[in-house]
């Protein structure tokens, strides 16, 4: 385990703020649903949906990297987990074409 | 490639991999990662099935912010998604307290680990409680609708806003129907709850109030709103009614497609069960921290492992939240 032994509290709080901000933005967009994002379409779905999916992936990155300490794992382990999840995300975005 | 070579180890080390650490991770942690990856596949399967089904019924899928509109203490206020957002925030905060517990474990601070674990458990319980409350609102419903013989849900609107059956059905019930129970001598068996209003009653109320319109399941692709029928069209549809629907169960729901509620119950239920299991495991680890098991062991790796699981549950919620409530 390549754990940094100095306390990583500062990073934890930054990640909390980031996750909260992203969720707030998502909910605000979900309630307002600006027509130019909601009623138009690119790549099979509305830009609003793409924004939601991308923001979700950003949140997933923060949770796995910072909270699950994936950044501290060996490169091989990282590669396997990421290959797996990116394959799945491909599956999601194919299936969920709103 | 020493991973593949059997290394003789004394019996004491057998159950922790005998000191072999593939990817530099201990046996227990490795197994937790394996579990997480396979569980991720399970959830992905569910979400992909949800996505596919939704795509299939995309022209009539219920709109999430018309379904989840409750907030505790605010009765009758249209509060789309505020409560789910709060739930998401609570789960994120519980993830933070969990990671702080892991952090304190690295520093071998027993008391701090215990307090952070405690906070995580409390937030977890709040989350599961909130989910139960969401389910309760979903099951009891808020507006009520009718279902036609060809399986379409019709909702009622006034000036473009959905209204409840109780808002416009003011006339008397004429079919004299009462709940059959084995105690009132009407029937020998119990029957399912009968709807508050009869079909004839609703039809009569609709005909006598010209302000009421019927909203179909269909979504207008231009505006992404449900299509509101004209008065005549509405009456024609209403004549096909075979069932009054209040709330939701696995067979019928007032929001639209049956399978929408089925997926809601199944996926949020499966996630909720994961949170529940997480709380139980957290409680076990919490007591082990208190009695000093990990202090004696010399490391708090167990806290790290349960932490991995807890963060994974949070991760899954992030996806469920997006695909159920936002997209």
Q: Is the ipTM of this complex over 0.85?
A: no
| Per-residue model confidence as pLDDT tens digits over A41-86 | 887 788 888 899 899 989 988 888 888 876 666 666 667 666 666 6
Q: Are A31 and B290 contacting, i.e. CB atoms less than 8 angstroms apart?
A: no
Q: Do B207 and B291 share a domain, yes or no? A: no
Residue A20 lies in a domain: yes
Neighbours of B170 (CB within 10 A): 11
Q: Can you count the helices (H) and strands (E) in chain A?
A: 4, 0
Q: Do B230 and B269 share a domain, yes or no? A: no
Number of domains composing chain A = 1
The answer to whether the CB atoms of B65 and A3 lie below 8 A apart is no
Residue A3 lies in a domain: no
Residue A45 lies in a domain: yes
pLDDT of residue B162: 86
Q: Do B108 and B53 share a domain, yes or no? A: yes
| Per-residue model confidence as pLDDT tens digits over A2-55 | 444 455 788 889 999 999 999 999 989 988 888 888 888 887 788 888 899 899
- Helix axis angle for A75-95 and A47-62, nearest 10°, is 160
Number of domains composing chain B = 2
Q: Do B159 and B307 share a domain, yes or no? A: no
Q: Which of B265, B253, B247 is nearest to B320 (CA)?
A: B265
Residue A1 lies in a domain: no
Selected for mutation to probe chain A from B96, B263, B300, B313 (highest A CB count within 10 Å) is B96
User: CA dist A8 to A5, A14, B103, Å?
Assistant: 8, 10, 7
Tell whether the torsion through CA atoms of A71, A74, A75 and A78 is positive or negative: negative
Distance CA B142, CA B76 (A): 9
| A98 → closest Cβ in B47, B92, B327 | B327
| Residue range(s) defining the domain that contains residue A45 | 16-95
Q: What's the pTM? A: 0.85
pLDDT of residue B132: 95
Residue B11 lies in a domain: no
Distance CA B236, CA B28 (A): 64
Does residue A11 belong to the interface with chain B, where contact is any CB pair within 8 Å?
no
Q: In terms of CA atoms, which chain B residue is nearest residue A55?
A: B322
Q: Do B151 and B131 share a domain, yes or no? A: no
Residue A7 lies in a domain: no
| Residue range(s) defining the domain that contains residue B214 | 145-246
Q: Do B132 and B265 share a domain, yes or no? A: yes
Residue B10 lies in a domain: no
Distance CA B78, CA B82 (A): 10
- Residue by residue, pLDDT tens for chain B (327 residues) are 455 655 555 555 555 656 666 666 678 888 888 898 889 888 888 888 898 898 889 888 998 888 888 888 777 677 788 889 999 999 999 999 999 999 999 899 999 999 999 999 999 999 999 999 999 999 998 888 999 988 889 999 888 788 888 888 877 777 777 777 767 666 566 677 778 888 888 888 888 888 888 898 888 888 888 888 888 888 888 888 888 999 898 988 999 899 999 999 999 999 999 999 999 999 999 999 999 989 898 889 899 999 999 999 999 999 999 988 888
Question: Of B197, B215, B246, at which residue does a domain stop?
Answer: B246
The answer to whether the CB atoms of B48 and A53 lie below 8 A apart is no
Facing residues of B228 across strands?
B215
Residue B8 lies in a domain: no
DSSP designation for B4: G
């Amino acid at each position: 385990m390549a754990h940094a032994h100095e306390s990583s509290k500062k990073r934890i709080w930054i990640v909390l703020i980031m996750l909260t901000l992203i969720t707030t933005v998502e909910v605000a967009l979900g309630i307002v649903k600006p027509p130019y994002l909601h009623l138009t379409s690119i790549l099979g779905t509305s830009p609003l949906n793409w924004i939601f999916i991308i923001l979700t992936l950003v949140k997933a990155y923060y949770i796995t990297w910072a909270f699950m300490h994936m950044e501290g794992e060996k490169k091989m382990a990282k590669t396997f987990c990421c290959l797996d999840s990116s394959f799945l995300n491909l599956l999601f975005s194919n299936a969920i074409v709103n | 490639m020493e991973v593949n070579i059997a290394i003789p180890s004394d019996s004491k080390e057998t159950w922790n991999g005998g000191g072999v650490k593939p990817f530099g991770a201990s046996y227990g942690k490795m197994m937790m990662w394996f579990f997480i990856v396979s569980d991720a596949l399970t959830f992905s399967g569910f979400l992909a099935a949800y996505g596919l089904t939704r795509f299939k019924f995309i022209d009539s899928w219920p709109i999430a912010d018309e379904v989840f509109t409750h907030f505790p203490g605010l009765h009758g206020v249209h509060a789309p998604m505020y409560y789910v957002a709060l739930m998401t925030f609570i789960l994120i905060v519980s993830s933070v307290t969990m990671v702080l517990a892991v952090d304190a474990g690295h520093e071998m601070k027993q008391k701090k680990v215990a307090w952070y674990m405690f906070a995580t458990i409390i937030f977890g319980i709040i989350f599961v409680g909130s989910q139960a409350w969401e389910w309760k609102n979903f099951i009891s419903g808020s507006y009520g609708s009718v279902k036609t013989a060809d399986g379409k849900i019709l909702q009622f609107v006034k000036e473009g806003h959905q209204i409840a059956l109780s808002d416009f059905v003011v006339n008397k019930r004429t079919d004299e129907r009462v709940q059959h129970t084995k105690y009132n001598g009407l029937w020998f068996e119990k029957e399912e709850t009968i709807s508050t209003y009869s079909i004839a009653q609703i039809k009569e109320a609709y005909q006598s109030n010209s302000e009421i319109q019927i909203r179909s399941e269909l979504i207008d692709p231009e505006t992404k709103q449900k299509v509101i029928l004209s008065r005549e069209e509405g009456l024609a549809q209403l004549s096909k009614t075979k069932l009054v629907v209040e709330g939701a169960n696995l067979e019928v729901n007032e929001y639209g497609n049956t399978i929408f509620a089925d997926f809601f119950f199944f996926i949020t239920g499966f996630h909720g069960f994961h949170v529940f299991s997480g709380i139980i495991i957290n409680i076990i680890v919490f007591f082990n921290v208190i009695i000093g098991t990990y202090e004696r062991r010399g490391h708090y790796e167990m806290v790290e492992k349960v932490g991995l699981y807890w963060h994974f549950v949070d991760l899954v919620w992030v996806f469920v939240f997006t695909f159920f409530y936002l997209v």
